Amino acid sequence: MTETSLLNISFSNQSEKGSNSSFCPDLDDWWNAVYYIVPKYINTVCVIGMFGNIFVLFVYSLQKGPLKIAEIYLMNLAVADLVFLMGLPFWAANIRNEFNWPFGSFLCRSTSASISLNMYTSIYLLVAVSVDRYLTLVHTLNHRGIRSRTIAKGICLLIWFFGILLSIPVFMFRTVKDFPLWNISACTLDYPTPSWKIAEKLVLNIVGFALPSTAIIFLNFSTIRSLQKKVRQRRALSKTDCKRQKGTKATRLILTVVLMFLFCWTPHHFFAFLDMLYRTEVIEGCFWGELINFGEQFSYMLATTNSCINPIIYVFVGKYFRQKALEVFSQFIPCGFPLKWVSFKEMSSNFSMFPVRSSLT
């Protein structure tokens, strides 16, 4: 993930405009709502997300046979989300403590860097998943040579290296800084010049969202169009309704993945863009300052949800993962134990993200 709104509280904005603060409305009640609601929500997301992503790693680690290509990306995605979720309790406590950071300088730097690392690695892993799905469903025969487990692992290493590289400035310049006006010591970015802050926002918006989200949208909607074309061809050839329904269900689920991603992340990057405009004084005044402050808090809260639901929208909706989970857990169940619930495996085929042909090869 990104240098989040939670990590970008506009202390500098407020301190720079301290002379005008007397003209701003008193919003203590609103901030009290932030201190109460946001930490509880973040902790809930953390618990659910930790359980889901650990479950994913557990299944993939204990499955029989080597990981398939898409599973390599999904496993790395679960690791990235897990790294991010491990830092959430610190930020929940930070907000509950009214942004007074009690955990020291090293945790300030390391947890901030891990959050930034997650933003970049997770979004580009989703690009990799989208590329693999596109090649699998649209160009099945033409790109077999470039789809291998070795190449997939190499791509994952490059993505992690890229994320670490972009997170270095966060680790270097994140520090615990005293703000006597509020009588707190906050974990905040302390760049040497204002231009660093503007550059960080540009990298966040362009490299961290605009470019990869454009790729994700293009690849997934190209896949949707291909599936729709195949459905029309089957209909013209009077193929069975069953095949047509499977193509339609795959189309719906791919669209759901794209919309859910945009729903969770677009508000966060929108307010990050507004913050850049505010820092460059393109927009000014108490209204914009407070809108950005509150917007960043709640848009970040929504963005954290993506790491919580990733195991659901990328893994649990697919029948292949459920089958693997049943195979893994069946190793720990006594032979005589009745497994009537295993019939869920057959039911799940109606909700597969992909056609009957294995899409994880």
pLDDT category, 344, cuts 50, 70, 90? very low
Q: What percent of the chain has pLDDT over 70?
A: 75
pLDDT averaged over every residue in the chain: 78
Q: For the purposes of burial, counting CB atoms within 10 Å of the CB of 100, is it exposed (0-12), middle (13-18) or buried (19 or more)? A: middle
For range 32-59, the mean pLDDT: 91
Query: What is d(CA 204, CA 21) in angstroms, rounded to the nearest whole number?
Result: 29
**Residue 242, pLDDT above cutoff 90:** no
**Torsion, CA 116, CA 121, CA 127, CA 128, rounded to 10:** 180
* Averaged pLDDT for residues 193-198: 85
Q: Phi and psi (nearest 5°) for 187?
A: -85, 105
Between 255 and 108, name the one with better pLDDT. Answer: 108
pLDDT of residue 300: 85
Specify the higher pLDDT residue, 198 or 345. 198
Residue percentage of the chain with pLDDT more than 90:
24
CA torsion sign for 162, 163, 164, 166 is positive
Of 127, 133, 189, 185, the residue nearest 158 (C-alpha):
127
Between 105-109, 114-118, 339-343, the lowest mean confidence (pLDDT) is in 339-343
Instruction: Provide mean pLDDT across the span 259-286.
Output: 86
CA 298 vs. chain centroid, Å, equals: 15
List pLDDT tens digits, range 157-177.
999 999 999 999 999 999 999
CATH entry, 5-329+340-351, from 3.40.630.30, 3.30.1490.20, 1.20.1070.10, 2.60.40.10: 1.20.1070.10
Query: From residue 77, how far is each of 53, 60, 125, 292, 307 by CA, in Å?
Result: 9, 12, 6, 30, 9
The residues spanned by each domain of the chain are 5-329+340-351
pLDDT given for residue 159 in this prediction: 96
pLDDT in tens, 65-89: 888 888 898 899 899 999 989 989 9
> Are 158 and 243 in contact, with CB atoms under 8 Å apart?
no
Read off the pLDDT of each residue in 270-274 and give the average, rounded to a whole number: 90
Residue 338 pLDDT exceeds 90: no
> Strand, coil or helix: what is 184?
strand
> What pLDDT was estimated at residue 4?
38
pTM over 0.95: no
Q: What count of other Cβ atoms lies within 10 Å of the Cβ of residue 39?
A: 20
**Which has more pLDDT, 305 or 237?**
305
pLDDT band at 43 (very low <50, low <70, confident <90, very high): very high
**Residue 188 pLDDT > 80:** yes
CB 331 within 8 A of CB 113: no
